[in-house]
A and B are shown apart, each in its own frame.
Chain A
């Protein structure tokens, strides 16, 4: 009942705001998936329609805002409480105001701290140190959250940013906040920051992120999560994460490669089955072949080095017409039972561990 009224109120708000919107953008996706689950030796089929609606105020003037509504993930609908579903539907709702010397952003949105498409130790706000992603999505990390931030320019290519995060449980002492500085030293981008947040306990997270070019572009980030209490030394060492990568590596015939790594120096360095929390070395590669302007093939693979398991997705995107694309994906984990990516066990996903499956997905997307 609560879920139904949530949907109704959202539909009503869409109907009311659409008439006032300057530039509404709708993105629709319909994906049909055929799954085979090796653990149960069962075949299944799902059809998942998805839609996002973006209503923005336009980009002129000194105040702007945007609301983005998305259909919730089907996994959430059956398992999650109403607030979590509402949170998933209301992807973004924020405004920005530009003052003479600084900029204010408030609402539900995303701040991109650090570098890295999949592995980003500098992303202390949302966390980009796990493998719980959907490799069929164009954006691997798109989490948003409520925040207030102030952006203060320190020159043409440098700025400082301060952010305040609301308390996750309405207790004032559990509010969070942080700051970062973004600048360029010679040819290297240098970004350093700090965030304190409450996640069952108070954590302090400093980070540094560097980016430059050695032919291909490169990045290197590192962060730790220091607890307020307890065995600070050991827990800090355990939380140390270093990520890095090379990207924009171009080869003949429109082949481009992106390589990323994540390492936890205090992780479990034994050649045995690994978990997402303390896996010591993960690799990510993305190979994209673009034979024509409208057709691209991609192979995305996450590799857990210590247990030699991997999760791979082969994708094809054919932009047939203006804004309309046909999509195809073939995904499968490869690994022994209890490995991070197991053929017959569970694999990490954004909505918790799910049964390992070989999945063939065909569908289409349309943006208008």
Chain B
């Protein structure tokens, strides 16, 4: 009798062993998601289009990035020409050329709107070190825009992040984040994001057109579009410094 039980248990163990061995964990998904979105270096041009009930506003930009933490954005549209945003290792600096003013932002200030759009500084310059700042759990699967996605719940470990709770839908094959809902600790929705179009660079699927909606603003949405993207290109060593920011 006991032999039979042992055999049954062994059988069950063997049956389920491959599933437990090969099931991807939430941490591995996030790690792969960050890795897919991170390049040694990149250079992009694009635009931010904000539409609300009063009309449309469009701003254009150039953006550079290096690794997981460094990014620099320079606005090229007339009204904002020369304004720059530098993000590196948790700090964010703004430079306003008209006033020759350098402003440093931290913490919740990163949630502030960029040029009145639905995009925040955090959205535009997000660091790709998610697991350093968030605990993550897997919350099932769902299909988004025809793609099978993992649903992940990210809960902040620190107060120094813009969004305390994130619910994101990550493509099971390409690890692209197709959709996101960003909320406070109390569950109040702050922002929604959805990828509308993609491009493939270096074998990786990346967002080309993203729609962002600030839940605090009524009848407003912002589209962020990339016109060009080059990756793993040589960049000047002083690109992500205050010296270059204020140039």
Name the residue of chain A whose CB is nearest to the CB of B99: A139
Q: Tell me if A111 and B78 are in contact (CB < 8 A).
A: no
CA distance A266 to B57 in the complex (A): 49
Name the residue of chain B whose CB is nearest to the CB of A325: B79
- Minimum C-beta distance from A70 to chain B (A): 12
Is A250 located at the chain interface by the 8 A CB criterion? yes
- Minimum C-beta distance from A295 to chain B (A): 6
- Minimum C-beta distance from B55 to chain A (A): 6
Is B132 located at the chain interface by the 8 A CB criterion? no
* Chain B residues numbered 91-142 whose CB sits less than 8 Å from any CB in chain A: 91, 98-102, 104-109, 111-113, 116-118
Given A59-B247, A256-B112; A112-B79 close (CB under 8 Å): no
Q: Tell me if B107 and A213 are in contact (CB < 8 A).
A: yes
* Chain B residues numbered 57-105 whose CB sits less than 8 Å from any CB in chain A: 57-58, 74, 78-79, 81-82, 88, 91, 98-102, 104-105
Q: Tell me if B247 and A103 are in contact (CB < 8 A).
A: yes
Q: B99 contacts which of A96, A103, A112 (Cβ < 8 Å)?
A: A112
The winner among B55, B222, B240 for most chain A CB atoms within 10 A is B55
Q: B100 contacts which of A111, A159, A367 (Cβ < 8 Å)?
A: A111
CA distance A56 to B247 in the complex (A): 13
Query: Please, could you name 23 A-B residue pairs with CB atoms under 8 Å apart, sorted by A?
Result: A59-B247, A103-B243, A141-B99, A142-B99, A151-B246, A153-B241, A156-B88, A156-B241, A158-B242, A159-B242, A159-B243, A212-B106, A216-B107, A247-B109, A250-B108, A252-B216, A256-B112, A292-B217, A293-B52, A293-B217, A321-B55, A367-B79, A368-B78
CA distance A248 to B216 in the complex (A): 16
Is B232 located at the chain interface by the 8 A CB criterion? no
- Minimum C-beta distance from A50 to chain B (A): 15
* Binary B-proximity of A130-150 (CB < 8 A = 1, otherwise 0): 000000000101100000000
Shortest 3 CB-CB distances between A and B: which pairs? A248-B109, A213-B106, A112-B101
CA distance A256 to B120 in the complex (A): 14
Which residues of the other chain, B, contact A213 by a CB distance below 8 angstroms? 106-107, 109, 160
Q: Tell me if B247 and A248 are in contact (CB < 8 A).
A: no
CA distance A306 to B220 in the complex (A): 44
* Binary B-proximity of A91-113 (CB < 8 A = 1, otherwise 0): 00000101000010000011110
Is A291 located at the chain interface by the 8 A CB criterion? yes
Residues of B within 8 A of A (CB): 50-58, 74, 78-79, 81-82, 88, 91, 98-102, 104-109, 111-113, 116-118, 159-160, 216-220, 222, 238, 240-243, 246-247
Which residues of the other chain, A, contact B218 by a CB distance below 8 angstroms? 291-292
Q: Tell me if B102 and A112 are in contact (CB < 8 A).
A: yes
Q: Tell me if A322 and B99 are in contact (CB < 8 A).
A: no
CA distance A59 to B244 in the complex (A): 11
Q: Tell me if B216 and A157 are in contact (CB < 8 A).
A: no
CA distance A101 to B57 in the complex (A): 40
Given A156-B241, A253-B216; A294-B57 close (CB under 8 Å): yes
Is A275 located at the chain interface by the 8 A CB criterion? no
Name the residue of chain A whose CB is nearest to the CB of B51: A293
Is A234 located at the chain interface by the 8 A CB criterion? no
- Minimum C-beta distance from A181 to chain B (A): 12
Q: Tell me if B247 and A217 are in contact (CB < 8 A).
A: no
CA distance A97 to B111 in the complex (A): 35
- Minimum C-beta distance from A59 to chain B (A): 6
Name the residue of chain B whose CB is nearest to the CB of A66: B97
Given A110-B100, A290-B113, A323-B78; A156-B217 close (CB under 8 Å): no
The winner among A96, A141, A296, A319 for most chain B CB atoms within 10 A is A319
Q: Tell me if B112 and A322 are in contact (CB < 8 A).
A: no
Given A159-B242, A250-B112; A292-B52 close (CB under 8 Å): yes
Given A59-B247, A159-B243, A367-B78; A215-B113 close (CB under 8 Å): no
Q: Tell me if B116 and A290 are in contact (CB < 8 A).
A: yes
Q: B242 contacts which of A142, A157, A320 (Cβ < 8 Å)?
A: A157
